[in-house]
Structure formats: structure tokens, C-alpha cells
Amino acid sequence: TTRTPEFLGLEQNGNLFPQSDKEGDVIIGVLDTGVWPESKSFDDTGMGPVPSAWNGACETGTNFTASACNKKLIGARFFAKGYEATLGPIDESKENRSPRDDDGHGTHTSTTTGGSVVAGANLFGYATGSARGMAPRARVAVYKVCWVGGCFSSDILSAMDKAVSDNVNVLSLSLGGGTADYYRDSVAIGAYAAMEKGIFVSCSAGNAGPTSFSLSNVSPWITTVGAGTLDRDFPAYVNLGNGKNYSGVSLYRGPTLPDKMLPIVYAGNASNSTSGALCMPGTLIPEKVKGKLVLCDRGVNARVQKGSVVKEAGGAGMVLTNTAANGEELVADAHLLPATTVGQKAGDEIRKYVISDPNPTATIDFEGTKLGIQPSPVVASFSSRGPNTITPEILKPDVLAPGVNILAGWTGAVGPTGLADDTRRVGFNIISGTSMSCPHVSGLAALLKAAHPEWSPAAIKSALMTTSYTSYKNGKVLQDLATGNPSTPFDHGAGHVDPVSAVNPGLIYDITADDYFDFLCALNYTASQIQLVTKRNTTCDPKKTYSLGNLNYPSFAVVVPSDSTGKSGGTTVVKHTRTLTNVGSASSTYKVSTFSDSKTVQISVVPNTLTFSQVNEKKTYTVTFAVGSMPMNSNVFGRIEWSDGKFMVGSSVAVSW
Amino acid sequence: ADNKKTYIIHMSKHHMPTSYSDHTQWYDTSLKSVSDSAEMIYTYHNVIHGFSTRLTDQEAQQLESLPGILSVLPELRYELH
């Protein structure tokens, strides 16, 4: 990717990971749509021999031979039997029955995790820079499990089964299903087994935001990644005949609009369809749009398809406007005609002008790439939100990472829009989604694994979470693009990742497979459900008291019981315990600070000082949440921070009624 | 067309009868006891113990009642984010 390494501080701290030669031993497995091995991001110049632990393969299939792999792309497998059992044999006229990426998504995510450095990368001149993965010296192995018709769990499970025996160190899955309980969710089950083998698993949180309770992949042994923006934008202004102008974004590159104001028409008034405003295929009346700019509403069909529809109908250009569902979020697209996307407020203004003015005119000014955009990061509107529908006592998402307008490698099979009529071919593309933020974290996890080979997946996750930031340098809380207001831990989790701090977090919250087993007991899982997830034939100890709040999670989610549990007077008391492991300097003393957004929630910690005398020493503390009454569905947020003056070990807190 | 669906069959590895020397053989015999024609799509050894196959609803229910079968889970479709 370009820009995210600088944005994350990786460029400025090149020597950050002293054992960076160990980075070459870390293997990242990516389950996705496969890979375009000719991408420059898989150049293996200067890379040492493939790690001896590697047990994978480079499978041969249609248009893909074992020679496609090298010392960067060390593995490539494809899994189609489940897909074909349901949908019939793969149509080889449409997609390759091999690891070859026919879509682009898999090349984008895999190069984001561990792509080699490629100077002068760009998309039509946009986002130019030296593209590099988060862990540019790590190895990449791809497992193609997604096909034109979707990603089937029997294939995904087989890929995870193989990735574990291939000995990957990190697994990256930018995909999700509905919110099935852990014991019914193949990704959750596969991830548990991977975690037991010391494999870090990160998954996309989903793009169903800003609706609450919209998360995917919420298992506590998975790192669930939301999407934030970068300090980079691609402005394209709409200038109206009434002298007003509005900012939008676009990645259009091609013949410019005539240097004059053009008539502009609202698609809803240039169509015979009741949903004409959406610019769906076949709905625009050519006579009404020919040579004009067309104002289209977002929704239903793909944004880039709307542009293609306008172009086909003879339109000169498109202004695409967000609706309430996307608010002010500006996702840039490589449209096939001069086009820009504007936020909902601007869109409403433009629509009002176009409908009311007798001769509405407009034009679009394309400004290219702009850096230093503030505030950044902000939470992307589409980023799925908590609370956690399956276990509200586990705060999700875990972290935010860059996921808006991300440039990374692309397939040579389709153009940047993915549309059939897009005959352009590019080496890099700019796309958005939690699919893009997840591989950022996967790559960062690989960096941490290289720096700390002994760390468990939970330790890596803890380091990423407790060093994440939830506010800008000016002290303001990260903004939520969907509302323009400060975001909450249900939006940003522990905050936005800060890998420079994560490599040296001071203290970590570690969690073992046994701890997760106890967590499942606290969920009152049956022996069979527990065996489905853990493959263990053991049962919960009837003499033991299990509590969800005692899973050693690096953040806190308190669910206030609606009955009288723990109530004394009008106050409910909830206690959670946590154990911190010292991974910083041998002797250190940490003091706790607690913050709550409301007097209704009092947070106290005993002991309030932790003194360590050696590395890997563990100390336990108890948090008491004294909670007053609030209406159902209320939330109060806060933080618990331990600091020794050098390290800051921060945890988000969410209390829900 | 064949009113079959894909299922992921989770087996309780510890319940393999001693008469079998190999899990896959046990899986196959279990499967053949409910369907002559069903084939295993995949067998899994690391992340779960079991296999995937296509069955009618009735065959799935019969299979679930056999000893050593932990669960017969319908396949789910995931999507890219």
C-alpha cells in the first residue's frame, strides 16, 4: 500500500523491528479470491530461502503453475470442491480453477499484508508512492476459497485445515457470514484450532455500519478489525451554475469535461422507472441525459455500475450522491466517465438546485491526490459496529486500521472497477472496506511475531489493542464519519492501531486456549458444543465458577443485569479480574487511572499499583464497576489505563443496560 | 436438483471404534450407513475432526443420530468484506 506505512509510523521507524531479518521467517496465510502472481508486489529480490518450517505447496491449476510461486509468494492453493458441490463445476470461461485471482480482492489483501516494496506505484497517477505491505519481508501464502458465487464454509474449513498443517504464522480472512454462534461458525471453529497452534487470526469486522449490532467474526480468539480513514483524499469538486461548489472524491482519469458549465439533470427526472434516481441498468432515457451531467443516488447497484449506465446512455458525467445510509463517507472510485461522489448534505443541496433551477448547470474539477487530510483517522461509516451480538460481555470490534481508499496490488483479469466493460488493466487499485483494514492488522501481527516469536496470538492482539489510540493529538476523540460526533468503543474498539507502540507495549493481557475453554463454560455451552469448538473431550468443572467477565480480554464490556443480580441499594456492582504480564523493563511500577463518561458508572481498581521485578512476571487486579440505573439500551463508556510513566497500557470500557 | 445440501460433519475423534485403524475409514463407513451414493467432499484433520458431504435432510438427521457424530452442520456461505 502507499501512505499507510507513513500514516502508521512504519516508515519513520524503519529500525523499529530490530530482528527484522526474522520477519522473513514469518508466513502470512490469506484466505480470499486467490492471487495474481505477476504483481510486482510479489517480487522476491533479495529474499532469503523459504523458511524451513514451511510445509505448504504451490498448486497447479488453470493458468497457474507451480513456477508462479517464489520466495515471497511461497504458497498458493485453491479450494473449489464445496463450491462446485453446490453450484456445479466452475465455469472456466469466467474464472480460473486454480489459485489465480479473477477478482482482484485477494491480490489486494495479500499484497497489503506482506507485499514487497514497489517504487512509483499508483492508480492512474493517484496515490503515487512506494507501495509496500505492512510486513514487506514476510512470506505470503494464498488460499483461494472465494469464487464468483461466494465463499463456502466447507472450502474455507479445508483451507484453514491446510494452512494449519502448512505452518502459517498468521491467518487473514477478509470475509464474514451471518452472526452464527461460535459452535456453528466454521471461521470461528477454524480460528480456535489455529489459535491453539499459535497462529494469529485476524478478520474483517464487516461493512454493515453504521448500524449497531452489525459485526461479523466476533470470536474472542479472533482479532476483529474495523475500518478508519487515512490522511489522504482524492478531491473532485462540483461547481454549480448558482456559484456554489461542493467537495466530492473521485479516481477518474481520462478525457476531461469541456471547459464550460454543462447542463445537469436529476436521474429521477430522466427515467421511466420509479427507481430512476439510482441509475440502474436500462433506466435512463438517452434523449434526456445526452451530453449532460447526471445526478444519481447511491444505493442498490454498485457505484461504478451507475457511472457505466450514465455513460452508456450518453451522459457526459455523473455526480453520485450519498444517501442517509452512507452519510458523509466519501469512498473514491475509478469511474469510467468523469464522475465524483459527494456526501449526503452536499447531495441534497445539489439535488434541490438541479430540480428547482430552470436551467441547472454544473461541472466537476478533479484535484488529484491530497495528503495531510484532517481529522484522520475517522471511523468509516460502513465499518460494522458493536455491541457484540453473540457475547455482549466481549467488547468488539477490537481495533481500527486503515480501510478507506487503500491502494494495493490488483489482478490482471479485470479492470479497476471490476465491470465487464472496463477494459483497462492496472497493477494497483484503490478500494475500501474492512476487507482492507483486516490485512493491515495481519501484516502488523507478522511484524510483531518477528519481533517477539515467543508471543502468543493473544499477546500480539493485546499489544495491538492496549497501544491503540482513541483520540487525536489535540485530545479530541476519534470522529465517527457516520455522525460527525466522537466515536465510541462500539465503533473503534480499543482504538486505531499504533504499531510503533505495539512492538513495546510494556504489559500484555495474555490468554491461553484453556482460558478460552473456560470462557465457553461461562457461556454455558454443552459438552458437545464445547467439543465442536475446541475438539476437547473434557467437560466444564461443576465445582468451578466461570465468569465471562474474567476472560483476560484487553478491553471491558459490562452488561448490567436487568434483574437484581449484584444489586445493593440502587447500585449494581460488577467485578472483573485481569492479569497483566510484564514484557517491558524488568523492574517497573504501574499506576492505574480510570475514566468514566458518566457518574452513573464508578470504576475502581484494586490494587491501584502494580510493581514488577522481572520480565514475564504476572500480576492480577480486580476492577469494580459500581453502576446506577439507566434506561434499557443505554451505554456508558470509559477507560482503564496503567502507566509507569513510559508505557501506557490502555483499555476501553463499555457498560450497557 | 437432488434436494441435497452440503453439510459439515463434526466427529468425536475419541469415539472412533477400535475396530477401525483410520479415521477416514470410520467416517466413510458412517456416511455409507445413511447413503450409498454420498461421497466425502473434504476430510478435515487439524481444525476439526470430520468431513463434508452432500445429504438430503433425512440422511442428515439419520447421520446425526449415529454414535460418535458430534454435529451435522449445514454449510454456510460467507462473503468478502
What are the pLDDT digits (tens) for A520-559? Answer: 999 999 999 999 999 998 899 999 999 999 999 999 999 9
Residues with Cβ within 8 Å of A312's Cβ and at least 6 positions away in sequence, in order, are none
Question: From CA A518, how far away is CA A539, in angstroms rounded?
Answer: 10
Nearest CA to A335 among A143, A531, A123, A510?
Answer: A123
Q: What mean pLDDT comes out for the span A257-280? A: 95
Instruction: Please report, for residues A320, A477, A555, the alpha-carbon distance to residue A504 in angstroms, rounded to integers and kept in the order given.
Output: 45, 24, 18
* DSSP character at residue A274: T
CB of A394 within 8 A of CB of A245? no
Contact yes or no for A35/A100 (Cβ under 8 A): yes
**Looking at the predicted structure, is the pLDDT value of residue A30 above 60?**
yes
- pLDDT value at A407 more than 90: yes
Tens digits of residue pLDDT in A284-334: 999 999 999 999 999 999 999 999 999 999 999 999 999 988 888 889 999
Q: A238-258: per-residue pLDDT in tens?
A: 999 999 999 999 999 999 999
Judge whether A497 is closer than 8 Å to chain B, CB to CB.
no
| DSSP class of A180 | -
Position A406 confidence tier, pLDDT thresholds 50, 70, 90? very high
Q: Which residues of B touch A434 (CB under 8 A)?
A: 81
CA distance A8 to chain B (A): 22
Extract the C-alpha cell encoding A146.
472465494
Per-residue pLDDT, A330: 87
Mean pLDDT of chain A: 95
pLDDT at A180: 84
Of A151, A161, A174, which has the smallest distance from its Cβ to B44's Cβ? A161
- Whole-angstrom CA distances from A605 to A466, A622, A623 are 17, 6, 5
Segment 136-195 of chain A within 8 Å of chain B by CB: 146, 150-158, 160-162, 164-165, 174-178, 180, 183-187, 189-190, 192-194
Asked if A32 is an active-site residue, the reply is yes
Give me the residue label for grid cell 508505557. Answer: A647
Chain A contact for B77 (CB, 8 A cutoff) = yes
Measure Cα distances from A577 to A262, A323, A564, A619, A625 in Å: 65, 44, 21, 11, 11
Over the stretch A427-483, which tens digit does the pLDDT of each residue have? 999 999 999 999 999 999 999 999 999 999 999 999 999 999 999 999 999 999 999
Q: Does the distance separating the beta carbons of A435 and B80 come in below 8 Å?
A: yes
Q: Which residues, including other chains, have CB under 8 Å from residue A417's CB and lie 6 or more apart?
A: A304, A307, A308, A333, A334, A335, A336
From start to end of B1-81, where are the E strands? 5-11, 40-44, 50-55, 69-74, 77-80
Q: Is B60 on the interface with A (CB under 8 A)?
A: no
Q: CA torsion angle for A447, A453, A459, A464 (degrees, to 10)?
A: -10
Q: What is the mean pLDDT of residues A616-625?
A: 98
pLDDT digits (tens, 9 = 90+) for A148-190: 999 999 999 999 999 999 999 999 999 998 778 999 999 999 9
Distance separating alpha carbons of residues A141 and A522, to the nearest angstrom: 36
| ipTM for the whole complex | 0.97
Task: Tell whether the torsion through CA atoms of A574, A511, A496 and A327 is positive or negative.
Answer: negative
Residue A440's beta-bridge partner residues? Answer: none
Report whether pLDDT(A359) > 60: yes
Question: Which residue in the set B76, B79, B81 is minimally distant from A186, CB to CB?
Answer: B76
Taking an 8 Å cut-off on Cβ atoms, the answer to whether B79 and A151 are in contact is: yes
Q: Is A206 on the interface with B (CB under 8 A)?
A: yes
Would you say residue A635 has pLDDT above 70?
yes
For B3, name the nearest residue in chain A, comparing CA atoms only: A86
Neighbours of A21 (CB within 10 A): 11
**Dihedrals φ, ψ of A472, to 5°?**
-80, 175
Over B31-50, what HEC string results?
HHCCCCCCCEEEEECCCCCE
Residue A564 pLDDT: 64
Cβ–Cβ below 8 Å for B45 and A33: no
- Of the residues A216, A308, A435, A468, only one is catalytic, namely A435
Q: Chain B contacts of A157, Cβ < 8 Å?
A: 8, 42, 44, 47-48, 52
Q: Residue range A391-405: average pLDDT?
A: 98
- Contact (Cβ atoms closer than 8 angstroms) between residue A234 and residue A368: yes
The pLDDT of residue A98 is above 90 = yes
Higher per-residue confidence, A570 vs A279: A279
B8 vs chain A: nearest CA distance in angstroms?
7
pLDDT band at A105 (very low <50, low <70, confident <90, very high): very high
Q: Is A435 a catalytic residue?
A: yes
Res. A17 pLDDT band, cuts 50 70 90: low
Beta-bridge mates of residue A123 = A126
Q: Is-contact A228 A342, C-beta < 8 A?
A: no
Percent with pLDDT over 90 in chain A: 93
Q: What is the pLDDT of residue A252?
A: 97
On the question of pLDDT at A1 being above 60, the answer is yes
The answer to whether the CB of A266 falls within 8 A of the CB of A352 is no
pLDDT at A20 over 70: no
Helices A153-166 + A186-196 axis angle, to 10: 10
Order the strands of the A262-266 sheet from edge to edge.
A245-246, A236-240, A361-366, A262-266, A293-297, A317-321, A339-342, A248-249
Q: Please name the residues between 56 and 115 in chain A that touch chain B, using a CB distance below 8 Å.
A: 79, 81-82, 85-86, 105
For chain B of 81 residues, list the mean pLDDT of each consecutive stretch of 10: 88 89 92 93 96 96 94 95 96
pLDDT exceeds cutoff 80 at A566: no
The beta strands (E) that lie in A485-617 are given as 507-508, 556-559, 567-568, 571-582, 588-596, 601-606, 609-612
Greatest Cα pair distance in chain B: 46
